């Protein structure tokens, strides 16, 4: 069972790394580091194969005992049977009957051996599931008083000479910038410039090789992951849709959020009529096997998730890179609804999509190329056309 538990842990690490690698492909491919990710996956697969092989062999230890018992039973039956046959105490038919009785034992014993191995896998999975369910009630660093407390309200964000890389290849080089609480920063740059890496560092999904990332004046590496997840929200045009109700997709299965709160959020987004017109309202199933959602409806889900919980730092990850002008304008209206009262980082491919931010950070080859305020001076229609 311990070997199967290790195999399941390795599987989780492998699938998690594969997901991170796919998410970071825009950084890895231009830097030529895709072979590093593939090599790491190959090594992890080889390690998983060795662990599962040892677990399978150990779990089938009952099988050779079964074969030994059957062989012993055949030998004993034939030995005693032949002796009794020579003495004339039994007939050849009785000896054949002894053989058939022993043969009838073989199949169920082998099936028991196979089921014994499957039972070990099942118990290992159940043990892991039980420990995972217990995580929520376990006192973490924050409750134990070891994690620094984050301030209330919008966070300040500071990057101090941050360098980060994959397996020795730097993606960010001495990146430094600062966002005051309640301000909005747009991050723009070509594919591979390091935009996604900045998001990963802000979300606590990676740690800098050197330098510091300060969120709310606290080093991100010292923060409790649950507190960080509660206070930081990532909003994306590519938001995942679960095969569940509209309500569960907005609340992310949090039963503490009331129906009245959900409707209030939809009111703020101007989407009460859309949800109210659905066949089952908030209980309408969407996603795989349910109702398909349009681009605009996906935007509503993303905005509702950002509004449903109070957060201090909102990260908007490349929202308009593939939108038509009309949908892009609807996305901009949505952002203007969810951004007030928070510190916001907007990651985009195009600078023209950052009209609503206070400052723009231009990334190039993993370095800060420019940091400048946004000029919101109105222009007339003729000048805008030019």
Q: Give the pLDDT confidence of 238-290 residue by residue, as tens digits.
A: 677 888 888 888 888 888 888 888 888 888 877 888 888 888 888 888 877 77
How far apart CA 102 and CA 114 sit, in angstroms, is: 19
Q: What is the pLDDT of residue 373?
A: 78
CB atoms within 10 A of CB 273: 9
Q: What is the pLDDT of residue 31?
A: 64
How far apart CA 375 and CA 228 sit, in angstroms, is: 32
Residue 331 has pLDDT above 70, yes or no: no
8 Å CB contact between 171 and 197: yes
Binning pLDDT at 50, 70 and 90, where does residue 381 land?
A: very low
> Quick one: which of 300, 363, 371 has its CA closest to 172?
363
Q: How high does pLDDT run on average in the chain?
A: 78
Binning pLDDT at 50, 70 and 90, where does residue 137 land?
A: very low
What share of the chain has pLDDT > 70, as a percent? 83
Q: What is the pLDDT of residue 136?
A: 53
Q: Please give the CATH topology (third level) of the domain spanning 157-241+293-385.
A: Rossmann fold (3.40.50)
Q: What is the pLDDT of residue 325?
A: 59
> Quick one: which of 276, 281, 225 has its CA closest to 248?
281
How far apart CA 254 and CA 244 sit, in angstroms, is: 13
Residue boundaries of the structural domains of the chain = 2-59, 62-133, 157-241+293-385
Maximum mean pLDDT: which of 143-147, 262-266, 350-354: 262-266
- The average pLDDT across 58-77 equals 79
Global confidence as pTM = 0.58
């Amino acid at each position: 069972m311990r070997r199967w538990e290790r195999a399941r842990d390795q599987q989780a690490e492998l699938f998690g790394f594969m997901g991170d690698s796919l998410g970071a492909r825009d950084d890895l491919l231009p830097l030529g580091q895709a072979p590093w990710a593939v090599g790491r996956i190959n090594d992890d697969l080889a390690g998983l194969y060795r662990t599962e092989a040892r677990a399978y062999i150990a779990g089938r230890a009952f099988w050779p005992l079964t074969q030994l018992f059957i062989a012993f039973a055949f030998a004993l039956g034939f030995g005693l049977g032949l002796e009794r046959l020579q003495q004339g105490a039994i007939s050849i038919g009785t000896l054949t009957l002894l053989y058939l009785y022993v043969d009838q034992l073989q199949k169920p014993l082998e099936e028991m051996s196979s089921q014994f191995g499957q039972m070990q896998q099942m118990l290992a999975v159940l043990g892991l599931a039980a420990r995972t369910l217990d995580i929520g009630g376990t006192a973490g660093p924050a409750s134990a008083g070891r994690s620094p407390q984050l301030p209330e309200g919008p966070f300040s964000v500071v990057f101090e000479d941050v360098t980060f890389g994959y397996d020795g290849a730097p993606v960010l080089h001495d990146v430094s910038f600062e966002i005051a609480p309640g301000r909005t920063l747009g991050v723009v740059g070509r594919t591979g410039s390091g935009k996604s890496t900045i998001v990963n560092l802000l979300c606590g999904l990676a740690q800098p090789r050197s330098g510091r990332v300060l969120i709310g004046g606290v080093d991100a590496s010292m923060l409790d992951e649950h507190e960080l997840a509660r206070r930081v929200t990532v909003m994306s045009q590519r938001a995942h849709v679960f095969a569940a109700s509209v309500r569960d997709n907005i609340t992310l299965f949090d039963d503490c959020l009331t129906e009245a709160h959900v409707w209030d959020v939809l009111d703020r987004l101007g989407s009460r009529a859309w949800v109210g017109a659905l066949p089952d309202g908030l209980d309408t199933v969407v996603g795989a096997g349910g109702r398909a959602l349009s681009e605009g409806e996906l935007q509503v889900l993303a905005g509702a998730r950002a509004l449903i919980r109070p957060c201090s730092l909102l990260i908007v990850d490349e929202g308009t890179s593939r939108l038509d002008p009309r949908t892009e304008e609807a996305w901009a209206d949505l952002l203007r609804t969810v951004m007030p009262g928070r510190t916001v980082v907007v990651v985009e491919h195009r600078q023209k999509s950052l009209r609503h931010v206070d400052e723009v950070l231009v990334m190039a080859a993993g370095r800060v190329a420019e940091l400048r305020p946004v000029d919101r001076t109105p222009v007339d229609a003729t000048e805008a056309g030019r």
